[in-house]
Structure 1
Amino acid sequence: HSMGSFLSRSYVTKFPADVDALILSGTAGFNYSLYSALGVVSADLKISGSMAPATKYGKFMTDYFNRDIVDPVNAAAWCCSVPEICEQHLADPLGTKFTIGAYYEMIKGLISVREDKWAVNVPIIPIYIFAGGADPVGEYGKGPATVYAWLHGTGHDVSLRIYPGKRHEMIWESNKDEVRKNLYTWIDDKLPKINRLNQALCES
């Protein structure tokens, strides 16, 4: 999910034999402005060091993600349309603020999993992508659709589901039961095929 989806997209190309299926939630496509952002953050990294707090970047991201929400309930409003979930998000004791080094590595990672240069190295496994249509991380559905197009264009077994009007944390959205049911249905459909493939590989 989210940043974890970026890591998963990288992992699956580096260790393809370890992955039988891939589920990407709240992922993003690619924007060429990332190159400019990498240059800015790289300069800050040299001046302040990797562990320096990235307060200005955090505020920029929050303002950017909340830009289309009228009267956001708090800084985490972009995460979910359910106010209680947004409150829990900010109150989470395990939540931490990003450092400059964290932003640098995240941007580098996003650049590394771009376009068909990435998709062509993804193993032919079942892939499920889902996201909210009002999720700013995925540019309101365009990012996940782009990732789907890369994978579909390289012959992958990939499915895409966008939930209109919903935000980033789809597992906790107001229609979470529908989201989870669709996810479980996809898993139930793909697991027998995965098991048969693994059995064939073991017997070969």
Structure 2
Amino acid sequence: MTTITSHEHTLDGVRGRISVHHWQNPQPSFVVLLAHGYGEHAGRYEHVAQALLSAGGTVYAPDHLGHGRSEGEPALIDDIEDVVADLRSVAGLAAGEHPGLPTVLIGHSMGGIIATRYAQQYGSELKALVLSGPAIGGNPALIGLVEMDPIPDVPIDPAILSNDPAVGEAYAADDLVYHGPFKRQTLLAMGGAIETIAGAGSLGDLPTLWLHGEQDQLVPLEHTGPAVENIKGSDLQAKTYPGAQHEIFNETNKDEVIADVIAFLGPKLA
């Protein structure tokens, strides 16, 4: 079994210092960039990183601006492009430490927006893209909150993240998770990025895996499907999981989901 060690880097981001989790593999064969979702932090992906390390990866995952241990007002993002630029800096860090290794990008939820924008701009530098419940189609019930003044205090309900109640309990107890109401500017930034993605063209020949829970209430499948169809390139694989909610990496079948990611990456990295 791969010996797993972790390290925390700090980088100068576009709007403040960014904390970067690095799960280190002593002899990696590929680099993974991982973009977490809204309100959470990269530390919640420890188990995903461990599986990727066992498959030969070394994993770099920033806490986005305003998230986790990074600087910025909690859960406030003015422009998704700033976060994409921060991720680009993380990619530079990884390339400097592991020159010549192929790189794959995994993005969940809002991280799926970030990862898709990154791939639209820098896809030629990636071997593969994995999108988990990507919010690229939006959720009118959430984005529509910007029309309300004031925005109602309706934080994410931990109970709709996973069918495993322990996931919601851990989320609710996690001090690094943002538990407050949505912020207008962040919703506007996500809405603007969704429009940008829709008009920015396909992913070309970048191998892409799209995974989604069929009972996802935060990022409904019905809105994501058309958005993926609009930007898909020539090498798209898709799988949905019956009964699964939003956080498929934390679902009751999480081992299946992670295995699907690793199985997809294998041939792309060969």
Q: Which structure 2 residues correspond to residues 37-186 of structure 1 after superposition, within 5 A?
A: 37=144, 40=147, 56=152, 58-59=153-154, 62=156, 75-96=157-178, 97=180, 98-114=182-198, 117-120=199-202, 122-139=203-220, 141-152=221-232, 155-186=233-264
User: Does structure 2 retain, via aligned residues, the 8 Å contact 1:148–1:160?
Assistant: no
User: Does structure 2 retain, via aligned residues, the 8 Å contact 1:38–1:108?
Assistant: no
Q: TM-score, normalised by structure 2?
A: 0.52
Gaps of 5+ in 1: 45-53, 63-74, 193-204
2:229 maps to amino acid: A
User: Does structure 1 retain, via aligned residues, the 8 Å contact 2:158–2:168?
Assistant: yes
Structure-2 separation of matches of 1:76 and 1:55: 20
User: Does structure 1 retain, via aligned residues, the 8 Å contact 2:112–2:136?
Assistant: no
Q: Deviations over 1:52-83 (max 9, x none)?
A: xx761x51x64xxxxxxxxxxxx211110100
2:251 maps to amino acid: E
- Determine which structure has more spread, i.e. the larger CA radius of gyration: 1
1:128–1:39: structure 2 CA closer, same or farther, 3 Å change rule?
same
Structure-1 separation of matches of 2:166 and 2:230: 36
Structure number with the higher helix fraction is 1
User: Does structure 1 retain, via aligned residues, the 8 Å contact 2:127–2:269?
Assistant: no
Q: Deviations over 1:9-53 (max 9, x none)?
A: 11212223332211100113536959x838627xx6xxxxxxxxx
Structure-2 separation of matches of 1:31 and 1:183: 23
Structure-2 separation of matches of 1:31 and 1:5: 11
Q: Deviations over 1:94-149 (max 9, x none)?
A: 112343222221221122222xx3343x242100000100002332x323432442
Q: TM-score, normalised by structure 1?
A: 0.68
1:93 maps to amino acid: D
User: Does structure 2 retain, via aligned residues, the 8 Å contact 1:78–1:168?
Assistant: yes
User: Does structure 1 retain, via aligned residues, the 8 Å contact 2:136–2:228?
Assistant: no
Gaps of 5+ in 2: 1-107
User: May I ask how many residue pairs the two structures share in their alignment?
Assistant: 160
User: Does structure 2 retain, via aligned residues, the 8 Å contact 1:26–1:168?
Assistant: yes
Shift of residue 165, structure 1, vs aligned partner:
0.5
Structure number with the higher strand fraction is 2
1:128 maps to amino acid: L
